[in-house]
Structure 1
């Protein structure tokens, strides 16, 4: 499989740490020390998961001149913050594109949804049911977030990203998706209650952040090392490591365990907050234009419910 381009959409409204200082007394320095976050984006009143998914798709297509969107024959969208659980973000993207009679799938595996979406594409390609797929990840965290929650209310940001994946290369020097590994560790630790979003009861809550931190560091490091070993690479063969953007301390810990030069870790959480399953894809979009032949990139993720995974991309 080949990844031809990725593009991101971010709302324009910026919420700084000072907002939370005024709201509930949390000092900006305290938030920075614990999370690395200085500011985050917030969707406007007329924006939601569906509109951001469409906007990311528009941004992607604008970056691929000459590509006919009518050639897309599979749409997979990942989110755990749906605007509508029936007319999903995947349907919204399909309606925007105006492409009828193609598989259209919406999934949620928490913050790991990006890589599970890529695996779904891999399956459709292997079965001969598709050849040009659009993957979109979109999160409207602030629609569910309780800003007054001093444990996790300051973590969340909104954003989306879109990727064009094909079975065969369409043009020169796309990124090859060398391998995707995913798994679930729901029997481990406090996976059933560490991060939850129960729409009929309450918004996003994270009462056991320490357990999330420990398991994320363990599983992201482990699955990344497995991918490196399978492809006979060492950490510093990577041009970039793009970790899930949940907490800057997780990224630092994983990088240290792998023995990777910290400068090669892509982090946007300082500017965007935790953008859920969109965070790593947004990070890839941010470094896309710097990639050169011979480069290797690993995206590694960990989500609530303790799903995890890693994907190796080669140029």
Structure 2
């Protein structure tokens, strides 16, 4: 399975930490120390999960290596939908005007990226598709409570799109060698720690420490599993892209695995927690720095709980 192209979209509205200082009396230094976040992006008026997804797809189409009509599967991923019936995948299909192909959406919190790619892998294995468009988008600021001093300052918005094919299409394709995902709803306070209940109160994180501890357990564990499944070790990693939830979590993950900080790719400092989109944005932002033969591990952890890792070879 190969990533042929990848793109991302970020809203232009930048929200810095001083905004939350004025709102909640949280100092910028306090936010940076605990999360690493200095600023984040917020969707503007008229923007939503679907419009951001379409914007990411439009950026992708500027360098598509084949006709869009070869796309025979669309998979969308979000936990912050604009519409719970017309999913972001349906909105993209309508925009592209590609009829009569499978269109599905998945939601597994911040692990949704890898589960969406895994869905494409399943369609490929069953010979039901050969070229998938995978889109991830999260409009966290539509759901969060900015006055919540526990997590209101964490969230950012964005989208990413990627073309994934069963067979190699171009010399520059990224080879997805292995994906492992799993659910961890039996661990800790999984079904209470992070919740988004639109009919009640939006995103809240009453057990942040439990989230931290489990993320720091599962991301190194599954990363090592995906390496071992390919006969590789920690020394074989050139870059690690962890879920962009908290920079302290990312540092804990690389310290646990014994990976030097220069191999860590991170964007939470500029973008905040962009949900299931963070790793895809990081992959898109850094695509030009990867060299032939590089190996990347993308590892995620989401509320609920869910986790996963993917090994990519350049």
State the TM-score bracket (shorter-chain normalisation): over 0.9
Note the C-alpha offset of 1:289: 0.9
Note the C-alpha offset of 1:229: 1.5
Note the C-alpha offset of 1:292: 1.5
Post-superposition CA distance 1:13-41 (Å, at most 9, x none): 00000000000100000000000000000
Q: Distance in 1 between matches of 2:213 and 2:271?
A: 22
Q: TM-score, normalised by structure 2?
A: 0.99
- SS of corresponding position for 1:193: helix
Do 1:181 and 1:309's aligned partners in 2 also have CA atoms closer than 8 Å?
A: yes
**What's the RMSD between the two structures over aligned residues?**
0.7
- SS of corresponding position for 1:11: coil
Note the C-alpha offset of 1:140: 0.2
TM alignment of 1:28-107, pairs within 5 A: 28-64=28-64, 66-107=65-106
Note the C-alpha offset of 1:190: 0.5
Q: Distance in 2 between matches of 1:99 and 1:120?
A: 19
Note the C-alpha offset of 1:238: 1.4
> Is 1:263 aligned to 2:262, yes or no?
yes
Gaps of 5+ in 2: none
- SS of corresponding position for 1:220: helix
Q: TM-score, normalised by structure 1?
A: 0.98
- SS of corresponding position for 2:209: helix
TM alignment of 1:189-208, pairs within 5 A: 189-208=188-207
Q: Distance in 2 between matches of 1:244 and 1:106?
A: 20
> Is 1:139 aligned to 2:138, yes or no?
yes
Note the C-alpha offset of 1:173: 3.3
Do 2:239 and 2:296's aligned partners in 1 also have CA atoms closer than 8 Å?
A: yes
Q: Distance in 1 between matches of 2:229 and 2:261?
A: 22
Note the C-alpha offset of 1:148: 0.4
- SS of corresponding position for 1:46: coil
Q: Distance in 2 between matches of 1:178 and 1:172?
A: 16
Q: Distance in 1 between matches of 2:274 and 2:189?
A: 22
Gaps of 5+ in 1: none
Residue range with higher mean Cα deviation, 171-180 or 109-118? 171-180
Q: Distance in 1 between matches of 2:297 and 2:123?
A: 23
> Is 1:12 aligned to 2:12, yes or no?
yes
Do 1:245 and 1:274's aligned partners in 2 also have CA atoms closer than 8 Å?
A: yes
Do 1:236 and 1:261's aligned partners in 2 also have CA atoms closer than 8 Å?
A: no
- SS of corresponding position for 1:163: strand
Do 2:178 and 2:230's aligned partners in 1 also have CA atoms closer than 8 Å?
A: no
Q: Distance in 2 between matches of 1:42 and 1:236?
A: 38
TM alignment of 1:1-315, pairs within 5 A: 1-64=1-64, 66-315=65-314
Do 1:2 and 1:165's aligned partners in 2 also have CA atoms closer than 8 Å?
A: yes
Residue range with higher mean Cα deviation, 283-292 or 43-52? 283-292
Q: Distance in 2 between matches of 1:5 and 1:249?
A: 30
Note the C-alpha offset of 1:170: 1.0
Note the C-alpha offset of 1:202: 1.1
Q: Distance in 1 between matches of 2:20 and 2:206?
A: 18
Post-superposition CA distance 1:232-254 (Å, at most 9, x none): 22223212100000000010000
Note the C-alpha offset of 1:182: 0.1
Note the C-alpha offset of 1:299: 0.3
Q: Distance in 2 between matches of 1:38 and 1:68?
A: 40
Question: Runs of 4 or more off by more than 6 Å in structure 1?
Answer: none
Do 2:3 and 2:163's aligned partners in 1 also have CA atoms closer than 8 Å?
A: yes
Q: Distance in 1 between matches of 2:50 and 2:253?
A: 32
Q: Distance in 1 between matches of 2:285 and 2:235?
A: 20
Q: Distance in 2 between matches of 1:303 and 1:40?
A: 19
